[in-house]
Amino acid sequence: MKAAYRRVVIKLSGEGLAGDAGFGIAPTVIRAMAEEIREVHGLGVQIAIVIGGGNIIRGVSAASQGMDRATADYMGMMAGVINGVALQDALEKEDVPTRVLSALEIQEVAEPYIRRRAIRHLEKGRIVIFAAGTGNPYFTTDTAAALRAAEVHADLIMKATKVDGVYDADPHKQSGAQRFEQLSYEEAIRRNLQFMDQTAIQLCRQNGLPIVVFDMTVRGNIRKVVTGESVGTLVAD
């Protein structure tokens, strides 16, 4: 089986690591995730991962309850580092070389993010986990994924979710919601679709970065996306 892409960035939400518990890191979930990523890595694809910290703390939610927004966002970034280190551990247990590069300097547990170093790790066949978002408050991990993907010249952003693509309404709340197989950046922005924040979509548009939004809970979907199968929703020109 041949990969359709040379280099991809997978955007994982922190909430996806929590499993049914809804909080923290579920060992069975992160182990299954590592196994699937290992299989895709075996196809020769260069893989970078951007991971959030929403299973520990969400900056926006904490700010809405009275915490200073910048402080809450920095806490969310540090939660992302925790998740990055946990995912690194799970991947290395699968014998996959992995490096965590953090936008916040925590050199005891992660390398500082340097663009050329990240590219070199990818070229050497290591999985690179980008942690701590952009390193700045008020920016989401979606925007971090779009930024890092542009910086390392990725061919595709894979946005992992708990639904099977982009809908015109929340499918969990509206039974008649319709799924898109393909969308243009312009339509996604005009409709204000909530699968990714507007800044991230604009960044992808400016850099010609296609986005595939897919259901991470279905085993085999990552492999299907990187081998060019039609899965989820493709957002492109």
Q: What is the DSSP string of 154-179?
A: -SEEEEEESSSSEESS-TTT-TT--E
Distance CA 200, CA 215 (A): 19
Once rounded to an integer, what is the mean pLDDT over residues 77-106? 97
pLDDT at position 173? 87
Contact 106, 85 (CB under 8 A): no
Q: What is the pLDDT of residue 203?
A: 97
The answer to whether the beta carbons of residues 219 and 38 sit under 8 Å apart is no
Look at residue 16 in the predicted model and tell me its pLDDT.
Answer: 87
What is the three-class DSSP state of 102?
strand
pLDDT digit string (tens) for 17-63? 888 877 899 999 999 999 999 999 999 999 999 999 989 987 778 87
Smallest CA-to-CA distance from 9 within 230, 229, 210, 228 is with: 210
Spell out the residues 6+ positions from residue 194 whose beta carbon is closer than 8 angstroms to its own: none
Domain boundaries, the chain: 7-236
110 closest CA partner among 128, 91, 137:
128
| Rounded alpha-carbon distances, angstroms, from residue 127 to 29, 67, 105 | 19, 35, 19
106-112: average pLDDT: 96
- At the topology level, CATH places domain 7-236 in Carbamate kinase (3.40.1160)
* pLDDT value of residue 204: 97
Q: Is the pLDDT of residue 200 over 90?
A: yes
Q: Give the tens place of pLDDT for each residue, 201-228.
A: 999 999 999 999 999 999 999 999 999 9
Global pTM value? 0.94
- Helix/strand/coil percent split, the chain, to 5: 40, 20, 40
pLDDT value, residue 22? 79
Considering the chain, what percentage of its residues have pLDDT values greater than 90? 84
Mean pLDDT of 67-84: 94
pLDDT of residue 65: 86
- The rounded percent of the chain whose pLDDT value lies above 70 is 100
Residue written as token pair 């595709």: 156
pLDDT of residue 139 exceeding 80, the answer is yes
pLDDT of residue 20: 80
* Each residue's pLDDT tens digit, 164-192: 999 999 888 888 899 999 999 999 999 99
Helix axes 141-151, 198-207, angle to 10 degrees: 10
